[in-house]
Structure 1
Amino acid sequence: MKVRVSSDVAQFLRAKAAEKGLPLTELGGALLEYAAQAEANEAGDALVMPTVRHVVRQELDYFMERMFDFTVRTYMEAGTARRMVMASMLMDMPEGRDERLALIKSIEEVQWGATWDASKKHFAGLAELKREVMDAQERFERKVEALAGVDHFESAGGE
């Protein structure tokens, strides 16, 4: 089998073969084998990557959902605790333990509700932020898909 290459490439290959102490045909065969294997690996990666991306995205979504749950819970606990401290500073506590616990429980329920009511505007802001982020992601993915259809770029001056 003969392979045609430019004179510059042929000179380079001869020098490399001499440097490695290999016949030119063996070096050429090794380079062709390497190129074919690289292309095969790339084709295999192209088949696997959509699945890998899907699994990673799924796990990240699950992680973000849990982080959001923890954040909301922290928000609610902190807001309720702040409101309870303020309420306890303004109220006289009854003498009996059971009466104090009942009062604290009723204050907690009221303050939890107040925290929830106050949170609605914050959560609405988070929902708007999420929508904007998702819109930006969708625009990015559409651009990537559009560029994936382009095999090569041509300059105005031809090739």
Structure 2
Amino acid sequence: MPLTELGGALLEYAAEAEAKDEGDALVMPTVRQVVRQELSLFLERIFDLQMRTYMEAGTARRMGQAAMYYQTPLPLEKIKAIEEKQWEMTWEASRRHLEGLQAWKQMMTDSAELRDLKEERVNDQAEDAQAEE
């Protein structure tokens, strides 16, 4: 089911639920879950694209440096060997950046968990305030 169709169905259901005084309590957790899933998939695709771009750019830069160093024209086998070596060097250099991304991802996961805990506390306080009235 396309995301737009699902979003439309959820909005329609939300409007009907609100009319029946069921409101956000039933719909919003589902909407949040669907949005989080789609954002997660989108971020994975963006990460794949950025990683590929990083690798290609690093290899191209190193190949340009190698072309300035070696005599030209080079045989195809030599070019392939240089390209493979440059790709490996780019991959090694990327490990430092990947470790930073992993730390950032952990920080984002931790902050999402904190947000959920805060949201639960706010909801509990609101329920307590309503119960006291």
Structures share fold, TM-score greater than 0.5: yes
**Match status 1:128 vs 2:103:** yes
Which residue of structure 2 aligns with residue 59 of structure 1? 38
Report the equivalent of 1:30.
Answer: none
- TM-score by length of structure 2 reads 0.77
Give the number of the structure whose alpha-carbon radius of gyration is greater: 1
1:104 Cα deviation from its structure 2 partner:
1.4
1:72 is the counterpart of 2:51:
yes
Give the unaligned 5+ runs of structure 2: 1-15
* Cα deviations by residue, 1:46-79 (Å, 9 ceiling, x for unpaired): 2122111111110000000000000100100000
Q: CA RMSD in A?
A: 2.4
How many residues in Structure 1 have an aligned counterpart in Structure 2?
116
* Correspondence 1:1-159 to 2 at 5 A: 40-94=19-73, 99=75, 101-150=76-125, 151-153=127-129
- Structure number with higher helix proportion: 2
- AA paired with 1:104? I
- For residues 106-134 of structure 1, give each alpha carbon's deviation from its aligned partner in whole angstroms, at most 9, with x where no partner exists: 11100000000011011101110111111
Q: Which runs of 4+ in 1 moved over 3 A?
A: 37-42
Give the share of equivalent positions with the same residue, in percent.
52
TM-score (norm 1): 0.65
- Counterpart in 1 of 2:5? none
**Unpaired segments ≥5 residues, structure 1:** 1-36
- Separation in 1, partners of 2:51, 2:21: 43
Alpha-carbon distance in 1 for matches of 2:88, 2:51 = 14
In the TM superposition, what is the alpha-carbon distance from 1:140 to its structure 2 partner? Answer: 1.1
